[in-house]
Amino acid sequence: MIPLRGEQSLMSDDFMLDTDDLERRMDGAIANLRVELASLRTGRASGSMLEPIMVDAYGSMTPVNQVGTVNVPEPRMVTINVWDKGLVGKVEKAIRESGLGINPQLNGTIIMLPIPELNEERRRELTKVAAQYAESGRVSVRNLRRDGMDQIKKAKADGLGEDDQKFWESAVQEITDAHIKKVDETLETKQAEIMQV
């Protein structure tokens, strides 16, 4: 029996698995994957590629977009207009050490990041990195599935009926399958974007 949303209220009064919370947490894993994939350089300029970069500003690690304005003035250029002249060197250093493979160019308080064309070998490397990010996303979703299944097992030990157990396990599996599919679709889209010349 495949449970429908809203149907869980018809089941056992003793046990109620919060499938909305489970789904919310799995959605969080997908959102995290999208952020990680956005940081991969695809040959096209994107402000989101700078999101993971942190700058040592005023004694704490701060995201680049909180120390300057990030713009994409043309398809192969990202600029950062750093608000505090004293942070320009730190922002430049953070970009150089980030592993993005971009050579920042300074123009006063503006840091220009020309995005070089990707060669075939680099594109293949990036698709492998994207696949690793996706696998981490799948692992996160599966860990959340295990949490849900553990709650069901505990409820079974506390007297949950076998039919109710099967119902809840089916509900958790359905949510998991949907989220694994989202991970796969997100990866497929990103890999196509990376390989597009």
Q: Which residues contact 146 (CB under 8 A, 6 or more apart)?
A: none
pLDDT score of 4: 45
Mean pLDDT of the chain: 84
pLDDT score of 58: 85
The full set of domains in the chain, from first to last, is 8-37+120-195 (1.10.132.20), 47-114 (3.30.1360.40)
The interaxial angle of helices 120-157 and 19-38, nearest 10 deg, is 170
* Residues 122-169: tens digit of each pLDDT: 788 888 888 999 999 999 999 999 999 999 999 988 888 889 999 999
* Residues 168-192: tens digit of each pLDDT: 999 999 999 999 999 999 999 988 8
pLDDT > 70 in the chain, percent: 90
- If one counts every other C-beta atom within 10 angstroms of the C-beta of residue 70, the result is 20
pTM for the structure as a whole: 0.64
Residue 10 clears pLDDT 60, i.e. is over it = no
pLDDT score of 1: 37
- If one counts every other C-beta atom within 10 angstroms of the C-beta of residue 170, the result is 13
User: What is d(CA 184, CA 108) in angstroms, rounded to the nearest whole number?
Assistant: 43
